[in-house]
Structure 1
Amino acid sequence: MTPTDLASLIKTTAIGVLDDRGLDSSLLPEQATVERPRNPEHGDYATNVAMQTAKKVGTNPPEFATWLVAALAECDAIAEATVAGPGFINIRLAADAQGKIVEEILEAGEAYGNGDIVAGRRINLEFVSANPTGPIHLGGTRWAAVGDSLGRILTACGATVTREYYFNDHGTQIDRFARSLVAAAKGEPTPEDGYGGAYIGEIADAVKADVPDVLEQDPATVQETFRSRGVDMMFAHIKSSLHEFGTDFDVFFHENSLFESGAVARAIDMLKENGNLYESDGAWWLRSSAFGDDKDRVVIKSDGDAAYIAGDIAYVVDKIERGHDLCIYMLGADHHGYIARLKASAAALGYDPDSVEVMIGQMVSLVKDGEVKKMSKRAGTVITLDDLVEAIGVDAARYALIRSSVDSTLDIDMDLWSSQSSDNPVYYVQYGHARLCSIARKAAEIGVDHAGADLSLLTQPREGDLIRTLGEFPAVVTAAAELREPHRIARYAEQLAGTFHRFYDTCQILPRGGEQTEPVHRARLALAAATRQTLANALRLVGVTAPERM
């Protein structure tokens, strides 16, 4: 019985208790809170449902708790229920009920942990979206890991997810990139507002190799050749880096297409027609302050050019018209203003503002020998995705970026994350999985399997700790999806690995040489198999490999 199952049992039992006494059971919370006590001697789980509800229904918490304990004692799944303190209820599960968690995991396999919190939703998940003017920096790399993991989690919880990369190929940054390439091709200094780094020279040389006479053409043709070919080459590198990092996209959306297709003009017409775009001082303004923004925004400047927000507005229309009912934007630390701006744009267009959701990720730094690394030789000004992978590897990089909340800044200690020790979180978790695979191989070699195992034999405290930790996984996945927090999965994997290692140190899983295979060996092997499956499922949701040998 998982904590979710127990919560349902408590709720159902509490409804019966109140109805039998003529009290209003509709006042019960939607779901009973179930937690593991800090002191395991108090029981397997505890609930405060009596304290939450008693006064509302016209009684006191100890009395309601006493009624509920008496009713729970009649349930086969409950070995013991007692009232504690001002109305807490401590619960100890029957051995059979605990064993059912193991059965459930083995039956569900890769689907164990999946939920339905976002079932039926069509979610557009836009992340990374770095400008094709240079390699992906650490901030974008954080989103590459977190966004990919969030997509996996939302999919596991029932959503249809479109992973989307917004390709900024419209505007002044691309012009600056092209001018930087032309300067490098001519052997001239980088323009004052241009891009530096070895990669600029590499791309410029590649363009000259493709078009040997490029510098002999007229200036406009030279600029356009380096712009178009340079952007294609840079973006090919970005795609390749992301793919090697384990992050792929369903859609690469070109910003320029919004202007070429007339989508921007059509979105502006929509806002003019509904009165949410007005003219003042020769410019057209979005009435965004009426929809929660701190001020109105210029959409069409007085010179007739579209402001950057014009593309954002058209992009909202495009995403929703493609059938998405939730559009999640994952943006960098300098984009806080976009939260109200994008929601206001959706509302002004007549859409539900909650169809737009913006996540902000904080900065990332690399630390080596206790000092922050300042720059990449190749990129010139920033540490890149490629630098991080070269330093600590894909698995460590992804895990390091995912295991902390994106709300916090992050320092990645290269010495720690490249080490093969239990201090390295990803190594610790992966070693747990490899150890479990080794147990399975050894069991096969000596002819021991867990088919038909009597799981009620799993009564040792460390066994109970491991079973209860396994039972928490579905709730962790649901919370990670609901709160958009993939770090919950990574932290859970560490907790599960630690609980397993302690179980392994205490409980003999397989018979030693010459010993007879006892029923408890089969039961523990089943528990180990369930742990291996759950750990693999958790690692898959964060996009990290589950090695069978280390």
Structure 2
Amino acid sequence: MTPAELSQAVQVAVRAAVEAGELSVDVPEQVTVERPKNRDHGDYATNVALQLAKAAGRPPRAVAELLAGRLQALAGVAKVDIAGPGFLNITLDAATQGELARSIVEAGPAYGRNAALAGLRINLEFVSANPTGPIHIGGVRWAAVGDSLARILKASGADVATEYYLNDAGVQISKFAGSLKAAANNQPVPADGYVGEYIVEIAKAITGAVPGILELPEAEQLQAFRSHGLKLMVAEIQRSMDEFGTHFDTWFSEQSLHDSGAVTEAIARLREQGHVFDEDGAIWLRTTDFGDDKDRVLVKADGETTYFAADAAYYLSKRDRGSEVSVYMLGADHHGYVNRLKAIAACAGDDMDRNIEVRIGQFVKMLRDGEEVRMSKRAGNIITIDDVVDWIGVDAARYTLARSSTDSTITLDINLLTSQSNENPVHYIQYAHTRMCGVARKAAELGVDKGTAADFRPELLATPWESDMLGVLGQFPGIVAKAGELREPHRVARYLEEELAPTYHRLYDNCMFLPKGDEEMTDLHRARLWLVEAAQTVVANGLTLLGVSAPERM
């Protein structure tokens, strides 16, 4: 029995009490069932009696006593105790608890999926670095976190569209084109231009692919470097994202908003909502009505539209394409964007607390031999995604970047993350998985297996270590659901690292999975093999949600 199934059983007990006239309350839509830290308090605990007491007009313990009898009568419940002000502590019988192992093995990759966000349409935009250079280390963090979050949201039932917003219009692209043109002509880098070996590489690629480009008039030459350079840089970014295991459903062009007239249309739509005004020859959006620190210019007095106007058009495009919730994942230097983006949603008539979410990721540092690494050989002044992958690998990068809350600055220690030690978090989790796979290999060598589902005797999984393992495995769907609801992939990593792996190692150290010497294969051995495979399934599923491999050997 999973916590979710037990939660439903408690709901049924409450509903039965209401229908019998024993309680006069609304049956709660959700009942919290948790694994108590102190195992003397049973397998699971719920505070439902405290939740219902006020509406019922009774003391919490009185409500608990009423529900305890009904819960005690449920199949699979061995004991129900009332603790403190009215907590219900529930102990399952060994067979009911052990049955979870079979459920997990039979569910396979589907175990952990849930319906917490069923049907919710989410547009998830992340990375979205300017296509003027390789993805830098800040973007690498969002590549790991954003892709993991997309997987978790989908596992929780959401309809997710992942998106990369290409800032392919404006001043930065012009500077990029000028830098390429200067490199091709062996001229000094323009003021505020881009430097690094990649600029020279792209310039050479363009001159090789476009014969005669250097003989074109300056304006045409600049335009050619702009269009070809942008195409090559976007292809480079797409390559690095693919190699990092990060997928985007849509690569959305900012320039397309201007070319299609979407920016002009967005301003008209916002004016219809009553939040656009004209002043000093410019067109403004009154974002201060919704918490922004100042009103924002949409069109300058000279008729030029602003980046903010494109931001407004882009938000409306997401909504027009069916997004109920637009999630923006921005870098640490974008704190000022939070209120202005939320104000756009409000000015468009949406709920700024529901239809839009803006999340800020903090900085990432890299250490080697105790010293901070700051420079890339290829990009010159930044650390790129390719540098990170070369130094520590995709698995170590993705796991380490996703295992911490994005609210915190993190440090990637190259020496640690390339070591084969339990101090290396990704090695620790992957080693646990290989240890589980090793049990199955050893069983095959001995010519034994776990048998069929009909051979499985769940009641034999009765030791404290087996009970603890089953309890941890049962938490996984709830962990995934909470990670999706709170947009926090690190909850999955921490569960694997702090709950599942250490619990398995204790199980491994205290329980014999296979017969030794001349011992016969017993039903207990078979039951334990089911449990080990269940644990292996959950580790693999958790790592898959984080975009990290689950190796069978290391």
More displaced 10-residue stretch of structure 1: 205-214 or 215-224 = 205-214
Q: CA deviation at 1:189?
A: 2.9
Gaps of 5+ in 2: none
Q: CA deviation at 1:227?
A: 1.4
Equivalent pair of 1:126/1:165 in contact (CA under 8 Å): yes
Name the structure 1 match of 2:449.
448
Q: Distance in 2 between matches of 1:73 and 1:265?
A: 66
Q: CA deviation at 1:233?
A: 1.5
Q: Distance in 2 between matches of 1:350 and 1:235?
A: 34
Q: Distance in 2 between matches of 1:86 and 1:121?
A: 38
Equivalent pair of 2:96/2:458 in contact (CA under 8 Å): no
Name the structure 1 match of 2:466.
463
Say which SS state the counterpart of residue 23 (structure 1) adopts. Answer: coil
Equivalent pair of 1:168/1:254 in contact (CA under 8 Å): yes
Say which SS state the counterpart of residue 23 (structure 2) adopts. Answer: coil
More displaced 10-residue stretch of structure 1: 181-190 or 109-118 = 181-190
Read off the aligned partner of 2:116 and give its amino acid letter: I
Q: How does 1:224-303 map to 2 (within 5 A)?
A: 224-303=223-302
Read off the aligned partner of 1:356 and give its amino acid letter: I
Q: CA deviation at 1:475?
A: 0.3
Q: Distance in 1 between matches of 2:41 and 2:119?
A: 40
Name the structure 2 match of 1:539.
543
Q: Distance in 2 between matches of 1:474 and 1:79?
A: 24
More displaced 10-residue stretch of structure 1: 442-451 or 489-498 = 442-451
Equivalent pair of 2:450/2:527 in contact (CA under 8 Å): no
Equivalent pair of 1:145/1:401 in contact (CA under 8 Å): yes
Q: Evaluate the alpha carbon distance shift between residue 440 and residue 253 of structure 1 in structure 2; reply closer, same or farther with a 3 A threshold.
A: same
Say which SS state the counterpart of residue 334 (structure 1) adopts. Answer: helix
Name the structure 1 match of 2:366.
366
Read off the aligned partner of 1:412 and give its amino acid letter: L
Say which SS state the counterpart of residue 412 (structure 2) adopts. Answer: strand
Q: How does 1:23-62 map to 2 (within 5 A)?
A: 23-26=23-26, 29-62=28-61
Q: CA deviation at 1:211?
A: 3.0
Q: Distance in 1 between matches of 2:402 and 2:169?
A: 31
More displaced 10-residue stretch of structure 1: 49-58 or 223-232 = 49-58
Equivalent pair of 2:101/2:530 in contact (CA under 8 Å): yes
Gaps of 5+ in 1: none
| TM-score, length basis structure 1 | 0.96
Read off the aligned partner of 1:462 and give its amino acid letter: W
Q: CA deviation at 1:19?
A: 5.5
Say which SS state the counterpart of residue 294 (structure 1) adopts. Answer: coil
Q: Distance in 1 between matches of 2:549 and 2:51?
A: 43
| TM-score, length basis structure 2 | 0.95
1:509 maps to 2:513: yes
Q: Distance in 2 between matches of 1:271 and 1:75?
A: 57
Name the structure 1 match of 2:178.
179
Q: Distance in 2 between matches of 1:327 and 1:360?
A: 14
Equivalent pair of 1:19/1:25 in contact (CA under 8 Å): no
Equivalent pair of 1:450/1:523 in contact (CA under 8 Å): no
Name the structure 2 match of 1:74.
73
Read off the aligned partner of 2:553 and give its amino acid letter: R
Equivalent pair of 1:76/1:94 in contact (CA under 8 Å): no
C-alpha offsets along residues 498-545 of structure 1, whole Å, 9 cap, x if unaligned? 211111111111112321110001100111111111111111100001
More displaced 10-residue stretch of structure 1: 330-339 or 296-305 = 330-339
Q: Distance in 2 between matches of 1:325 and 1:48?
A: 33
C-alpha offsets along residues 99-139 of structure 1, whole Å, 9 cap, x if unaligned? 22112212211111101122122221111111111110111
Name the structure 1 match of 2:530.
526
Q: Distance in 1 between matches of 2:203 and 2:245?
A: 28
Q: CA deviation at 1:321?
A: 1.5
Equivalent pair of 1:214/1:222 in contact (CA under 8 Å): yes
Q: CA deviation at 1:467?
A: 0.4
Q: Distance in 2 between matches of 1:434 and 1:22?
A: 53
C-alpha offsets along residues 420-469 of structure 1, whole Å, 9 cap, x if unaligned? 11111111111111122222223234132231210111001110011010
Name the structure 1 match of 2:490.
487
Q: Evaluate the alpha carbon distance shift between residue 349 and residue 79 of structure 1 in structure 2; reply closer, same or farther with a 3 A threshold.
A: same
Read off the aligned partner of 2:529 and give its amino acid letter: L
Q: Distance in 2 between matches of 1:123 and 1:55?
A: 37
The alignment covers a number of residue pairs equal to 549
Equivalent pair of 1:375/1:382 in contact (CA under 8 Å): yes
Equivalent pair of 1:15/1:25 in contact (CA under 8 Å): no
Equivalent pair of 1:421/1:428 in contact (CA under 8 Å): yes
Q: CA deviation at 1:415?
A: 1.4
Name the structure 2 match of 1:190.
189
Q: Distance in 2 between matches of 1:293 and 1:484?
A: 24
Q: Distance in 1 between matches of 2:117 and 2:87?
A: 32
Equivalent pair of 2:448/2:521 in contact (CA under 8 Å): no
Name the structure 2 match of 1:4.
4
Q: CA deviation at 1:20?
A: 4.4
Q: How does 1:132-171 map to 2 (within 5 A)?
A: 132-171=131-170
Q: Distance in 2 between matches of 1:191 and 1:450?
A: 71
Equivalent pair of 2:44/2:91 in contact (CA under 8 Å): yes
Name the structure 2 match of 1:500.
504
Say which SS state the counterpart of residue 71 (structure 1) adopts. Answer: helix
C-alpha offsets along residues 219-259 of structure 1, whole Å, 9 cap, x if unaligned? 11221122111111211111111110001211111110110
Q: Distance in 1 between matches of 2:451 and 2:149?
A: 34
Q: How does 1:355-434 map to 2 (within 5 A)?
A: 355-434=355-434
Q: CA deviation at 1:15?
A: 4.0
Say which SS state the counterpart of residue 189 (structure 1) adopts. Answer: coil
Equivalent pair of 2:514/2:525 in contact (CA under 8 Å): yes
Q: CA deviation at 1:302?
A: 0.7
Q: Distance in 1 between matches of 2:255 and 2:465?
A: 59
Q: Distance in 1 between matches of 2:146 and 2:377?
A: 27
Q: CA deviation at 1:21?
A: 5.7
Q: Distance in 2 between matches of 1:157 and 1:356?
A: 19
Aligned residues with identical type, % of pairs:
54
Name the structure 2 match of 1:214.
213
Say which SS state the counterpart of residue 263 (structure 2) adopts. Answer: helix
More displaced 10-residue stretch of structure 1: 322-331 or 285-294 = 285-294
Say which SS state the counterpart of residue 515 (structure 2) adopts. Answer: coil
Equivalent pair of 2:402/2:493 in contact (CA under 8 Å): yes
Q: Evaluate the alpha carbon distance shift between residue 507 and residue 203 of structure 1 in structure 2; reply closer, same or farther with a 3 A threshold.
A: same
